[in-house]
Chain A
Amino acid sequence: MLKNKRQLKALIEVNLLYINPQATSRQRKQHKNSQQIIRSTMMQYGLLSVLFLFLYGASMFVINLKYRPGLFSQYVMMFALMTLAQSVSAINNVFFESRDLNDYLPLPFQQSAIFLAKFTVIALSNLPFVLPLLALFILTGINGSFGMIGGSILGLFLFGLFFTLIFMLCSLLVFGLTHTKVYQSHRKTFTFLLLIVTMVMMVIGILTMQEHQANIASHDAKKIALFLPLHKLLLQPLTGKSLLTLGILLISVFLGYYLLKVWLIPSLYTQYNLSNAATAAKPSKSYHARSLDQLLRHYNLSLLKNPTFLLQSLTTTIFPPLIMIFAGTINQSFDLGKLPGKYFGVFLLAGIALSLMIVNQGALVSNIISLDGPNYAFVKALPIKEKTYLKRKFNLAVGIQMLVLLLVCIAFWLVLKLPFLLALCLLIGTFMGNFVASLRFFARDRRLFVPDWTNVMQLFNRSGGNFGVIFGLITIFILSIVVIVGYVLLLNISGIVVVLNSVMLLLIGLLFIGICFYYWKHFWQKLN
């Protein structure tokens, strides 16, 4: 038992050091020891959790959830979906994508200790997303028949039960799927589908939130029957129905625990081996390339076929601005079909702004060099010009991003019912923005190249990390709104539309050429 405790402690510490490798190595450079790094990591998650708890708690505090069962049920659904999505992605990342599980296999660690340590860290990193549930449960509980203290304890207890249940569901889902033959033979496709499905669930959760925000002021939101018994349980815990709910929850948790202990944990090793065997059993498709170009394209495409990378890339690039924009339009119908052509410059600018928000440090172009890993150093030693090699990478990544942006523009064209000319300007704007942002992030990827990354998050966390992405996104969003609104006002107030549009076109053109020239001179030319 003592040995298990010691092993568990050591494993949790290792996993905490792995949780954000970039931050760990940054702190090592400041001569901090492992205990200090672990404390700082815990503190960071703790503070973030308190911040989330306060933000959501404050917004819930003003509503008496006792009389809003519908709103309560929607909140539970939203946070449950978000936790589910986050956990599925984290479980997949920590257990199957991170390459360290193999390293533990020869060591005499109990599998349950490895499993528990990894789960503790996943739980910690998900805590900020689930803590609003704690606020929700406690704020509802204190309005119930148990009073302030009793209600708080009940809320805390139910939160623990609910949280555990969701985690167990995620584990059973991910590990259960890996038991199937279909998964073993189509591992990458299944992983990608699983992650996409959970991500869509998360988006639904966020949109649900947006929808019910509109209803808060007026009346209660639509009730979700599945979660109403929880509301009842928090308010009137001693009624027959509430006790039945509690019983079902407890039985579900025990059943989940039993399945995990008897079926899942003992087969963790076998599953890992099966997934390795499946990979080894499937010989890669032979590729008869005719030219270096084709070979490089094939190689670069194979680098991008990493489900976790693709999903994380989508999550950090395309989803945030789309959610931000679509959430604002979901409850209203827009018809910009009659918008006059004089606004073409506005849409050109909007396109540029949109692509600048999408092409960030999580984009394909921002990581495609680092995806090479140690191969990049080797390629440099080959008789291939580095410039040629990198140009192939750049063109491919920019091309794929342009395709994605084309789809986004088509979506905007249809949703906003834009005239063709304005939609075309939006598209041209996105292409221009995509190109210059790609130049910037491609050069950055080479500058901050990570040869021995083990987890894609290491690549995304370079420099500013997630906070950097969010900060950049918000800054571009606010700046774009200021510039675009100012431009629209000028177009409407002044009578010099042609002059204004010409000046704007000239400015955009000059800026575009200037940036391209800068990167041509300071990046591409230097590769020679």
Chain B
Amino acid sequence: MITLAHLNKVYGQTIALKDLTLNIKSGEVFGFLGHNGAGKSTTIKSIVSIIEPTAGHIEVDGLDLHQNRMAVKQKIGYVPDSPDIFLQLTANEYWHLIAAAYDLPATADQRLKELVTLFDMTAHVDEAIEDFSHGMRQKTVIIGALLPDPDVWILDEPLQSLDPQTAYDLKELIKDHARRGKTVIFSTHVLDTAQQLCDELAILKKGELIYNGSVADLLATEPGTSLEKIYLKMAGRQADAQHLANLKDDQDVEK
């Protein structure tokens, strides 16, 4: 179980997150949806310790992140939005670094072999990551995140640049991870993927939570309408226009 309580993040004059409170249950696939700059990556980076929130707190399985940073990190496997990390290392060197970070036993080598085969990386394990294409870098980082078999798997826009086969495999892995009682959190712009994978969703807009609930519940609000249309109605231009119109009505009434 992951709890985000009254999370705020401010950059100078810009509010990136505003009083975000969420509960993410174990064994579910949880998706963050929102436009660019909505606060998806800020939330994810706060959970994985890259960003320090301005206020609020985060708990993972009852452990406060601020108080137990190492223990919380130990539970999380993270796939960043940009896979351009540790470029000077070879794929193998990168995975061994991950193994050392999580203090994995020698038996993890077998898991590594399986993952490498699954992601079709066997021929490239001794090549430098800087020589990889974007998709291969993405695969390298995904393997690294899965290697410790983490309780919480967090992926920031993971399907970018993946070929159809790898994208399919990754989606299956996400489902399987959740089936084994573990938690998967991911952000995406692809609504079809969200609809296909997520047990629960959080829709963010300009740092604020505008929806939190199951995909089914969201679809039930307007039967027969696609998730895309519902989402755009809530977070798109249409919602802004509606919001402005409401403001204007309020002002007219006051007059």
Q: What 0/1 pattern do residues 263 to 295 of A give for CB contact below 8 A with B? A: 000000110010011001111000000000000
Contact A14 B93 (CB under 8 A): yes
Q: Which residues of chain A are within 8 angstroms of B96 by Cβ–Cβ distance? A: 10
| Residues A281 and B51 in contact in the complex (CB < 8 Å), given A14-B97, A25-B128, A108-B102 | no
> How close is B144's CB to chain A, nearest CB, in angstroms?
9
Q: Which residues of chain A are within 8 angstroms of B114 by Cβ–Cβ distance? A: none
Contact B103 A6 (CB under 8 A): yes
- Distance between Cα atoms of A280 and B88 in the complex (Å): 27
Contact B128 A103 (CB under 8 A): no
Contact B128 A281 (CB under 8 A): no
Q: What 0/1 pattern do residues 1 to 26 of A give for CB contact below 8 A with B? A: 00100110111011001100100110
Task: Tell me the nearest residue of chain A to B76, going by C-beta.
Answer: A106
Any A CB within 8 A of the CB of B89: yes
Contact B50 A452 (CB under 8 A): no
Chain B count of residues within 8 A CB distance of the other chain:
33
Any B CB within 8 A of the CB of A335: no
| A-B contact list, 19 entries, CB within 8 Å | A6-B100, A6-B103, A7-B103, A11-B100, A18-B88, A34-B93, A100-B86, A105-B48, A105-B49, A106-B76, A106-B78, A106-B80, A108-B70, A109-B101, A110-B70, A277-B11, A281-B11, A281-B13, A452-B87
Any B CB within 8 A of the CB of A28: yes
> How close is A215's CB to chain B, nearest CB, in angstroms?
47
Contact A280 B86 (CB under 8 A): no
- Distance between Cα atoms of A7 and B88 in the complex (Å): 19
Q: Which residues of chain B are within 8 angstroms of A21 by Cβ–Cβ distance? A: 88
Any B CB within 8 A of the CB of A107: yes
Contact B100 A108 (CB under 8 A): no
Q: Which residues of chain A are within 8 angstroms of B49 by Cβ–Cβ distance? A: 105-106, 269
* B74-102 interface with A by 8 A CB criterion: 74, 76, 78, 80, 84-90, 93, 96-98, 100-102
> How close is A458's CB to chain B, nearest CB, in angstroms?
9
Contact A33 B89 (CB under 8 A): no
- Tally of A-B residue pairs with Cβ under 8 A? 80
- Distance between Cα atoms of A277 and B126 in the complex (Å): 36
User: Which residue of B12, B84, B98, B102 contacts A283 across the interface (Cβ within 8 Å)?
Assistant: B12
Any B CB within 8 A of the CB of A375: no
Contact B73 A103 (CB under 8 A): no
Any A CB within 8 A of the CB of B52: yes
Task: Tell me the nearest residue of chain A to B12, going by C-beta.
Answer: A281
Contact A108 B89 (CB under 8 A): no
- Distance between Cα atoms of A176 and B222 in the complex (Å): 57
Chain A count of residues within 8 A CB distance of the other chain:
36
Residues of chain B touching chain A, judged by Cβ–Cβ distance below 8 Å, are: 11-14, 48-52, 70, 73-74, 76, 78, 80, 84-90, 93, 96-98, 100-103, 126, 128, 130
> How close is B112's CB to chain A, nearest CB, in angstroms?
15
| Residues A102 and B50 in contact in the complex (CB < 8 Å), given A17-B93, A34-B90, A277-B11 | yes
Any B CB within 8 A of the CB of A454: yes
Interface of A is mostly: helix
> How close is A377's CB to chain B, nearest CB, in angstroms?
13
Q: Which residues of chain A are within 8 angstroms of B128 by Cβ–Cβ distance? A: 25, 28
A106-B78, A281-B11 known; 5 new pairs, CB 8 Å cut-off, are: A107-B102, A273-B51, A280-B12, A452-B87, A454-B87
Contact A7 B100 (CB under 8 A): yes
- Distance between Cα atoms of A24 and B13 in the complex (Å): 43
- Distance between Cα atoms of A108 and B12 in the complex (Å): 29
Q: What 0/1 pattern do residues 22 to 53 of A give for CB contact below 8 A with B? A: 00110010000110000000000000000000
Q: Which residues of chain B are within 8 angstroms of A24 by Cβ–Cβ distance? A: 88
| Residues A280 and B90 in contact in the complex (CB < 8 Å), given A10-B96, A109-B101, A452-B84 | no
Q: Which residues of chain A are within 8 angstroms of B85 by Cβ–Cβ distance? A: 100, 103
> How close is B23's CB to chain A, nearest CB, in angstroms?
22
Q: Which residues of chain A are within 8 angstroms of B74 by Cβ–Cβ distance? A: 108
Task: Tell me the nearest residue of chain A to B11, going by C-beta.
Answer: A280
